[in-house]
Each structure stands twice: as structure tokens, then as C-alpha cells.
Amino acid sequence: SLLYMGLFTAFRGALSKYVFSGASFFPVIFVCLIEILFHCQRMIYESILQSQQRARTYSLVSFSLFVLKVLLTVYFVVLRKAGAIGIILAGTIHVFLFFAVYMIDALRHKAITFCIDGALLKTTLKYSIPIMPHNLSTQIATLVSKVLIGGTSSLSAVGVFSIASKFGEVADVIQNYVNNAYGPWLYEMLHAGKGDYKKTIRGTSGLLVAVIGICCIGLALFSQEVIILLIDSSYSEAWRYIPLIVGVYVIKITYYFYVSVLFYYKAASKKLFIATLTGSIINVILSSVLIPRFGVYGSVASDAVSMIVRVSIVVYISTRYENIGLRFFSFIMQEGVVLLFIFIGMLYTILSKVSSFSLTNCAYKAAVCIVYLFANMFMFRNEIRDFKNRR
């Protein structure tokens, strides 16, 4: 992180001209680089808590700092009128506090030693280096989309796209948190191999997809009200793209359940970059063709196609290692239902051309969410009962 910070600072002139056009290096980009310094420590701390299954500590720390981040954002943006730099400052303070909590917790439990363990480092790098293209390619594809949108229209269009993308990222965060809890549980099930564990995995996975589904439906449907009430009117058009962007992340649901198998096997994890890199290359190629013609819609279409390719490759590789009881077409059907409910939930908005806050529209969307919720509670009633009994 220090190396990147030094390089970006040294070449800030070229970066500001060709990549971050319209944004000043000081303080905007520089503060972002400071955030990167502490971001990796936050990820390490979260991984430690997950591997130790300290769910209560993980939830308490994550939720408390999330609330603090929201309050800091309100303070900087609303009270201090700091604008974009206020949001960035809130994020930077947020990850720094995560780092501080991590160090205090680790030192208090004597869970950290300042040294270099050569053998452990070698094992870790052999596992993690092949995954680096997997992580980087997605970020590069997103950056390319923003650059292309900014190059073909304006920075305001990039702003609208960024706001809409944030709602998609929330959907991804929800999926990631579910996966963080699902992964250790899955590995215990695979390691023990007791009873009809495949049936248990299949049922639990279906229930988790339903939970993620209600979150995605809520995000897609009520994003319009959030933007109308809380965000500047110049970005009000962002809500039009959010159901489509969330829809792309609905396609990604399958990915998280199958990719857990790849992380379970070291040899399989080395092949993960094939799916992500292929999907990202397709994304960049399609984006370069579609974004100049269709703008944000072209970016969403590129994301959707690349996501389908990525998920398909991961499912194929995963099933070559072990069949853990998951049924691919069950995921497709569940995701199709989620997308259908998003479409139904947006019908009133589309047909009535709602462009301002409407209680009738909110009530209609709430009814759609409730129907989905109760339908899935009935469908997975046995899994819910078993989950309560296990607790």
C-alpha cells in the first residue's frame, strides 16, 4: 500500500489528466490512498474473526463502525458541507478505527507477533498470489467502465453511475457477509461428512438464497425513495439504473455458493482467476463497444454478460472437484423468481411514471416484498425449523 501510494503520488500529474480527470489529487485522491493504507488490516481482522467463528465480536465491531461511518458521513456532508471529500474522509476514518480496534484486540489476546515467518509466508503466498488476478480484474473492469462513461459523456454521468453502483455494492456486501458465515460452516460440513450432509447443504443454501433475495428486492425497489429523499436532485436519475445493477448481482448469487468449494481446495483456488479474468476481459471488450453507444445501460449489459460467463466457469470448475449437493438449476430458478419480483415491484413506477415520493408506490412495493417473504418462509419452513432446533 505504501508502494502504491508513493507511485501514485509521483505520477499524480498523468493520473489526474488521464484517469481522474476533473478530480484534484490533493486532497481527494490523496485521502483515498491513505484509506488504502489501513484497508488491508481491516480485511485481515475480519478474516481472523471469521476463521475463529467469533460471530458476536465480528457483528458488534462491524455494525458499530458502520453506524459511526454513517454518522461521520452525515457530519462531513450535511453539517460541514464537505461534499465528496466528506464521504471519503468518513471512509478513511472508518478503516483507521477498524485498524485501531484490530491492534487493541490482537494485543489484548496476545494474538499477534511482530515477525516474519518464512514458512508461513511461503504457504500464504502460494495460496494467495494466484487469487490476485481474480481480485484485481474486477476492480479494473469497474474502473474502465467509469473512465469510458466519463469519456463519452460527462463527470455528472460518472456521478450518477457511481451512486447507482453503490446500491449494487450494498447487494454484493450482503452476499459477501452471508458467504463469510456460510464458508466456515460449509468447510466443517465437508470435513466431517456426517449423515446426509449434502441434503443439509442444499437446503441451507436455498434458504440463504431466499434471504439474499429479499435484501436485493428491497434495495432494487426502494432505492428510488432513498435517492429522491436523501440525494441531490441532480443525481435523481440514478434510481433508474439501480434495479438493473442489482439484477446483475442477483446473477452473482450462484457464484458465492460454488466458489466456496474452490477456496476449500488449494489446487482449485489457483484456477479461480480463469473465471474472473475471462469475465473481466469480456466486460472490458463489451464496455468499449456498448458504453459509447448506450452509456450506463451499455455498462450494465456488459456486466451482466461477463457475470454470466464468470458464474458458468466457476460452477464448471467447482463441480469437477466435488459435488456437495448443490443444484445449479435450483439457483437459476430462485434467482429468476427474485428478478421477476423486482420487475413486478417496478411495474407501478414504470406504468404510472412516478418521479417523486409516493406513499401509494411505497405501499405497492412493500406488498411485493411481503408476498416474496411469506412465500419463501412457507417454501423453506422445514429448513427454518431445523435452523431453530440447531440453535
For residue range 222-271, list pLDDT tens digits in order.
988 888 887 767 677 788 888 999 999 999 999 989 988 888 877 777 78
d(CA 222, CA 228): 10
CA–centroid distance for 204 within its chain? 21
On whether the pTM is more than 0.95, the answer is: no
pLDDT of residue 206: 93
Identify residue 217 by its one-letter amino acid code.
I
Residue 134 pLDDT: 65
Angle at 121 between CA 120 and CA 124, to 5 degrees: 85
In this prediction, the residues of the chain whose per-residue pLDDT falls under 70 are 21-22, 133-135, 137-138, 141-142, 146, 149-159, 232, 234, 388, 390-391
Nearest in space to 21 (alpha carbons), one of 184, 122, 156, 147: 147
- Cell (9 digits) for 288: 468499449
pLDDT value at residue 156: 59
